[in-house]
Amino acid sequence: MSLKNGRIHIQRAFQKASKTQSAALMPYFTLGYPDPETSLAVIEAIAPYSDLLELGVPFSDPLADGPTIQRSTQIALENGTTTAVCLDIVRQLRERGVETPIMLMGYYNPVLAYGQAKYVQDAAAAGVDGFIIPDLPPEEAGELEAQAAQAGLAFIHFLAPTSSLDRIANVTNRASGFIYLVSLTGVTGARPTLSGAEATAVQSDLAAFIARVREKAAVPLAVGFGISSPEQAASVGKLADGVIVGSALINAVNQSGDKPAAAAQFVQSLQRALLQ
């Protein structure tokens, strides 16, 4: 894999997925959880069933994340997972033959502490394809966005149901790779399956939100936050170009002694749902 084709790598993943299933599948997993070796094994196990991977860099104040991911990042930090360790895990994944596009999800403070330009350079060298930084708004992202573009990597922006038309226009005009659509207000975390009129209303609101963004966007739209089951993934996959599942995967890993096997089984169930 060329070090300068991250955005192309992402684009091709979405194009390939669209030919065979309702949406691209992008699992999230925290790097270094419950320890670096296990996280490496888990990610390697789920890669064959994933169209893209969102890998989390642990941070002590993950403000966009709910209890499940907060706990995973805290344990990863306690086990010595630094930014350098995260980049080394990505490097090992590439050395083991994992070709799935990798999005590095992390907060801005560790990027600053590591050194912004060095972070981009080292991430590209490790095999990262793009960055997701939830606490860096578009108005403040210009420098890092430009450095990522120079390295051939995508910089992913967020939009939420509460985003104004001006914010939607700003993000869609500068988007690369894909746009991360937050399905609801609040933090990450698996939500229970809804039924009846409530489910219909939620689906209708999400469809309207996606339609507003799609009118302006030239890149795929991936939806995350709150997707916890194959049924929910399939439902969202009928509306969006990508489906992101994080907390539910970590929950599945937590409940099993054979964590890589449990992770692979859960991601396979999501993949099957999207293929139907």
The single residue listed with the structure tokens 């859960």 is: 266
Whether the upstream peptide bond of residue 34 has omega within 30° of 0, thus cis, is yes
pTM above 0.85, yes or no: yes
Question: Over its length of 276 residues, how does the chain's per-residue pLDDT go in tens digits?
Answer: 444 588 999 999 999 999 999 899 999 999 999 999 999 999 999 999 999 999 999 999 877 778 899 999 999 999 999 999 999 999 999 999 999 999 999 999 999 999 999 999 999 999 999 999 999 999 999 999 999 999 999 999 999 999 999 999 999 999 999 999 998 654 444 445 444 444 555 678 899 999 999 999 999 999 998 898 999 999 999 999 999 999 999 999 999 999 999 999 999 999 999 998
Say how many CA atoms lie within 13 Å of 248 toward its Cβ: 25
Judge whether 107 and 76 are in contact, CB under 8 Å: no
Going by the DSSP 8-state scheme, the letter that residue 47 receives in this structure is G
Catalytic residue among 44, 65, 122, 145: 65
Sketch out the chain's domains with CATH numbers.
6-275 (3.20.20.70)
Instruction: Answer yes or no: 35 catalytic.
Output: no
Catalytic residue among 44, 51, 54, 241: 54
Helices marked H in 137-254: 142-150, 165-174, 196-214, 230-237, 247-254
